[in-house]
């Protein structure tokens, strides 16, 4: 009854303190190479003008960096791509600042921090930096955000017969929000998904499964261990299969009662 969506991954981007691009991620996922994480590192996406690269919130830097990486690997001009930016929590440090300021001295709320607090700020900065006037979406689905974003982006690509860009990211909780948000790491993944692609990084087939909830991938790579509580890192199962060139089905949680069965198809020759 359920139809499957078959789609190519034309490009991948990744940023975490241990793996700042796909090559470093392959090393971490295949050979478990330890790259000393440096939590003070920030992404520095060259697509942003220097002043914005300096001032932008970390959520923007993460989302934009992996988006740029994925487009460059796919060899697709960013301005032609509808995009979906997916984050469970948005920019937690800004939310902490806003709530703290509102509690103390509400008239001092910074207008720039306020407009940077919207969930679609990274998508907005991306569209401005790349001159992209295509559909621009920002989503959240709690712990299931990566799966929901993968499905949403696949459907955007399928509905146009073209390619679409996914950027999923989450940043560490800040202030009192740490009491309710477990996410304590920086992790972002970008994917260009295309219905047609001559030289994909991988091909996948996505089917919905309501029968059972997905377990987190048990394979304990360095990245899995460091980002267990980062919702964007629910992508690691797919990334590991691709990095290791291991076809098979990866189960990606997409809701409390919904799993995406993502089949990694043999694509290399």
Partner 1 sequence: MSALANALSSRISGLRRNDFGAQPLDCWIGRVDGIEESPLPPLFAAWDGRNNRLAWIALHQDDFIERATAAIEKYGASRVALVLGTSTSSIEETERAYRELTPDKHLPPAQRRSEVHQTNSLCSFVQAALGIEGPSLTIATACSSSAKVFASAARLLESGLVDAAIVGGGDSLCGSVLYGFNALELVSRDPCRPFDAERSGLSLGEAAGFALLERIDADKTAPRLVGYGESADAHHMSAPHPQGLGAELALRDALARAGLTPNDVDYINLHGTASRQNDEVEAALVARTFAATTLASSTKGWTGHTLGAAGIVETVITLLSIQQRFVPGTLNSRVLDPACGPQITLDNRNHDIRVALSNSFGFGGNNCCLAFIAGDRS
Q: Which residues bind partner 1 (CB under 8 A)?
A: 2-3, 5, 79, 82, 87-90, 95, 98-100, 102-103, 106-107, 109-111, 114-121, 123-125, 127-128, 130-142, 144-145, 148-149, 151-152, 155-156, 158-159, 175-177, 179-181, 208, 210, 254-258
| Structure tokens, 131 | 């001159």
Q: What is the nearest approach in angstroms of partner 1 to the Cβ of residue 139?
A: 5
| Structure tokens, 106 | 């509400």
Count of residues for the chain? 269
Give kind and range of the element (H or E) at residue 172.
Answer: none
Q: How far apart are CA 29 and CA 217, in angstroms?
A: 13
Going across the sheet that includes 163-170, the strands are 83-86, 163-170, 187-194, 5-15, 202-209, 258-265, 248-255
Nearer residue to partner 1 within complex by CB, 127 or 171: 127
Nearer residue to partner 1 within complex by CB, 77 or 109: 109
* Strands 5-15, 187-194: pairing kind: antiparallel
Nearer residue to partner 1 within complex by CB, 114 or 266: 114
Q: What is the nearest approach in angstroms of partner 1 to the Cβ of residue 129?
A: 8
Please, how many CA atoms are within 13 Å of residue 258, restricted to the half-sphere of its CB?
15
Nearer residue to partner 1 within complex by CB, 22 or 146: 146
């Amino acid at each position: 009854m359920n139809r499957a969506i078959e789609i190519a991954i034309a490009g991948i981007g990744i940023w975490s303190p241990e793996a700042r691009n796909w090559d470093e991620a392959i090393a971490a996922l295949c050979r478990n190479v330890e790259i000393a994480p440096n939590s003070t590192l920030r992404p520095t996406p060259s697509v942003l003008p220097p002043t914005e690269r300096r001032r932008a919130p970390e959520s923007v830097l993460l989302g934009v960096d992996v988006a740029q990486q994925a487009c460059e690997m796919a060899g697709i001009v960013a301005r032609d791509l509808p995009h979906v930016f997916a984050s469970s929590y948005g920019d937690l440090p800004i939310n902490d600042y806003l709530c703290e300021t509102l509690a103390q001295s509400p008239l001092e709320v910074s207008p720039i921090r306020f407009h940077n607090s919207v969930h679609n700020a990274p998508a907005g900065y991306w569209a401005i930096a790349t001159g992209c006037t295509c559909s621009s979406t920002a989503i959240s689905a709690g712990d299931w955000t990566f799966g929901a974003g993968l499905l949403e982006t696949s459907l955007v690509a399928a509905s146009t017969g073209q390619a679409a860009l996914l950027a999923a990211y989450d940043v560490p909780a800040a202030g009192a929000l740490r009491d309710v948000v477990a996410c304590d790491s920086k992790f972002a993944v970008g994917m260009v998904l295309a219905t047609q692609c001559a030289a994909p990084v991988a091909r996948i087939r996505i089917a919905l499964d309501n029968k059972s909830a997905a377990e987190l991938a048990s394979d304990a790579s360095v990245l899995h261990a460091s980002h267990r509580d980062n919702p964007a890192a629910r992508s690691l199962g797919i990334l590991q299969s691709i990095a290791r060139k291991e076809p098979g089905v990866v189960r990606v949680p997409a809701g409390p009662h919904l799993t995406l069965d993502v089949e990694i198809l043999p694509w290399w020759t």
